[in-house]
Structure 1
Amino acid sequence: MTRTINYGLIGCGMMGQEHLHNIGLLEGTNVAAIFEPDPEMAKVAKAIAPTAAMVGSVQELLAVEELDCVVIVSPNHFHVDQICEIAETRPLPLLVEKPLFTDPQDVTRLEQLQRDYPCPIWVAMEYRYMPPIAALIEKAEATGGIKMLSIREHRFPFLDKVGHWNRFNCNTGGTFVEKCCHFFDLMRLILQSDPVRITASGGQAVNHLDESYGGETPDILDHGYVLVDFASGARAMLELCMFAEGSRYQEEISAVGPDAKIEALVPGPERFWPDHLGTPPLPQVIVSSRNPKGPVSMDVPVDANLLAAGDHNGSTYYQHRGFLAVLRGEKAKPDVSLNDGLWAVRMGQAAQQAIDTSETVYMVD
């Protein structure tokens, strides 16, 4: 009989609750302990995982003897301190939500963890596992070698979070870190290359301008473009708009090579689809060959139970399935390493810098 794997969770806001729901879909798992300081979020988390012990600190969570791993889903700016606290107290396998870090000065600490941490650390990059995006990655060879990659996300504004922490760059790392590190991770994964140069343009045009917290107006950006040149010679572009929630698809990815173009079309969360429009659109993948010329479209349906468990097109389930395989020794290492997490944030920070300075940023170690 397979041994039950016991999870501890740090942070059970909206994304933490999605993790709880998806862990609950996996056989042989149990949420043993939860640290969530906000009373309302803790109440919701307890309803999802009623047998979990509710604890008052990271130290109390680590004192729960049966823990096999920890999932960190706290606000962005807490991640590194919490990883280091776990490293010093009781190293356990970790799944750490993105972005891995927000302060460039934390890179040194993370590089030391990369060398010394004795257990696997998996950085949560759910977008890799969205079924239409996974299908695009699987079919990438059909392009004959991707030369151009474009990622468009047209979506809703940042949601309300506890204490409004996600309204300020000092907590999030900036929109192109908080929201877009997923896409920079996808660029490196799909192109199998590292960036060498980043240019960007963006700003805050619509969202949160009439909000004030403690006398301060939010400074997070709500739109922009990022251009990335890669060592392989490939080029990538990100287009972000966070006041376009009326769109049919939330993410549209296009990969083009000498033989074909492949597109992945990903709808947003079903709970945001307007009732008057009927059934939400299905994800699609389109392969447009040059010879014979023309597009071939295929639907990529997602299991209804996975859609009900979160807002990320079923991807959180597939991510957790992979993490569980690492915990059980069925998979050699995490799909998304600390190095991948570092690169994704560095690219986001370079985009923020390019917007702030109107200058090209060169990615030099």
Structure 2
Amino acid sequence: MPAKVRYGVIGCGMMGQEHLRNIALLPDTEVTVIFEPDAGMAAEAARHAPNAVFVDTLAELLKVDALDCILIASPNHCHVPQMEEIRRTRPLPLLVEKPLFTDPKDLAELDSFKSTYPAPVWVAMEYRYMPPIAALVEQAELATGGIKMLTIREHRFPFLDKVGAWNRFNKYSGGTFVEKCCHFFDLMRLIMKAEPVRVMASAGQDANHKDEIYDGEQPDILDNGYVIVDFENGARAMLELCMFAEGSRYQEEVVAVGPQGKIEAFVPGPGRFWPQELGEPPVPQLVVSPRSPKGPRQIDIPVDPAILDAGDHNGSTFYQHEGFVAVVRGEKALPDVTLEDGRRAVEMGLAAQQSARTGQAVSLQPQSLSSVAC
């Protein structure tokens, strides 16, 4: 068990820097080496990890002795090849940002990786750890008497600027339902405790990035849509995404309903985007509404301000790293979010992309999963 958990970090853009700020809050952890090829992002990362060594390649990072685990926070399409290089060279415990992969062509390599990688791999699904959503997950079965309907709504700001505008294009990001929404498909499986069998989607690019051109190409990502998912246990879930609704009081709303009642989680967006003239940002809430006796019960679930200020995900990145460090130390047996969880969330996103494009429902029977097209 290492006295101090030493991270190597691949990618220090916006999300990578959030990881750095949260690692800095954890006791007995440090970032020892960073691979970030963009000079501007590297300079910013140095502010958050002043003692880290910066290297020019992943190969150089893997040669650093003072290393106990690796965080991958690079652009989506880089994840699988970087995981494979780590497997071949120095297989350490991994925390891999979502989405795990972006293209069905990656599946064979991912399956080979899974069968041969000797160290634990945790797929970063921060939304599981948002305190109001974690409370909903814990209480949903009792509050509902068994979930029959689940609705997840995210009304938020457009995609932020990333290095090289990679998040503006399906070919790099996997598409909006993969890049942005694999979080929500992961939550659906977690909350339902069941596997999806069919995905139906309607979506479009109606407001955002339509007047932008990068290297002669116009962004092709979706900015709004609905996705309905049927589950093997007969329950159903719906995602409602709108990325031109940043005026909302809450950014995420999760609602689970069953024969005994309803439970809701309300999560505000990043505090740095809340208008100062409106006062303090909203407090996250959990609302439990039984059918009998009628009457909603509202519970505020505030987050420690220091943890809240370290990122844009309602403190969840900190709690996620707490769990990952426990795995690295051997204090926790298994990752909360496995390679299989990461794979299934992306497959659901790819199916939603396909359904939105074709207007047809997509089956997710086991034998058809590998044939889902981008």
TM-score, normalized by length of structure 2? 0.97
Distance 2:213 2:363 in 1: 35
* Partner in structure 1 of residue 170 of structure 2: 169
Deviations 1:30-51 (A, max 9, x none): 1010000000100011111111
* Partner in structure 2 of residue 340 of structure 1: 341
* Partner in structure 1 of residue 296 of structure 2: 295
* Partner in structure 2 of residue 71 of structure 1: 71
State the Cα distance separating 1:2 from its structure 2 match. 6.7
Is the Cα–Cα contact under 8 Å of residues 2 and 28 in structure 1 kept in the other structure?
Answer: no
Distance 2:210 2:35 in 1: 33
SS in 2 for 1:228: strand
SS in 2 for 1:232: coil
Is the Cα–Cα contact under 8 Å of residues 209 and 219 in structure 2 kept in the other structure?
Answer: yes
Distance 2:104 2:115 in 1: 18
Is the Cα–Cα contact under 8 Å of residues 2 and 329 in structure 2 kept in the other structure?
Answer: no
SS in 2 for 1:293: coil
1:241 paired with 2:223, answer no
SS in 2 for 1:294: coil
Alignment of 1:118-197 (within 5 A): 118-142=118-142, 143-197=144-198
SS in 2 for 1:201: strand
SS in 2 for 1:264: strand
Is the Cα–Cα contact under 8 Å of residues 152 and 239 in structure 1 kept in the other structure?
Answer: yes
State the Cα distance separating 1:116 from its structure 2 match. 1.2
Letter in 1 for 2:204: G
Distance 1:133 1:214 in 2: 40
SS in 2 for 1:65: coil
Deviations 1:199-239 (A, max 9, x none): 00000000000100111110000000000000011100000
State the Cα distance separating 1:19 from its structure 2 match. 0.3
The alpha-carbon distance between structure 1 residues 123 and 2, as it changes in their structure 2 partners (threshold 3 A), is closer
* Partner in structure 2 of residue 20 of structure 1: 20
Aligned residue pairs: how many? 365
Is the Cα–Cα contact under 8 Å of residues 285 and 298 in structure 1 kept in the other structure?
Answer: yes
Unaligned stretches of 5+ residues in structure 1: none
Distance 1:164 1:198 in 2: 29
Is the Cα–Cα contact under 8 Å of residues 131 and 313 in structure 1 kept in the other structure?
Answer: yes
* Partner in structure 1 of residue 107 of structure 2: 107
* Partner in structure 1 of residue 369 of structure 2: none
- In angstroms, what is the RMSD of aligned CA positions? 0.8
Letter in 1 for 2:100: L
Distance 2:307 2:336 in 1: 20
Distance 1:255 1:26 in 2: 33
Is the Cα–Cα contact under 8 Å of residues 127 and 312 in structure 1 kept in the other structure?
Answer: yes
* Partner in structure 2 of residue 37 of structure 1: 37
SS in 1 for 2:296: strand
* Partner in structure 1 of residue 353 of structure 2: 352
Deviations 1:240-263 (A, max 9, x none): 000000000000000001111000
Deviations 1:146-205 (A, max 9, x none): 000000000000000011111100000000000000000000000000000010000000
Letter in 1 for 2:219: P
Unaligned stretches of 5+ residues in structure 2: 367-374
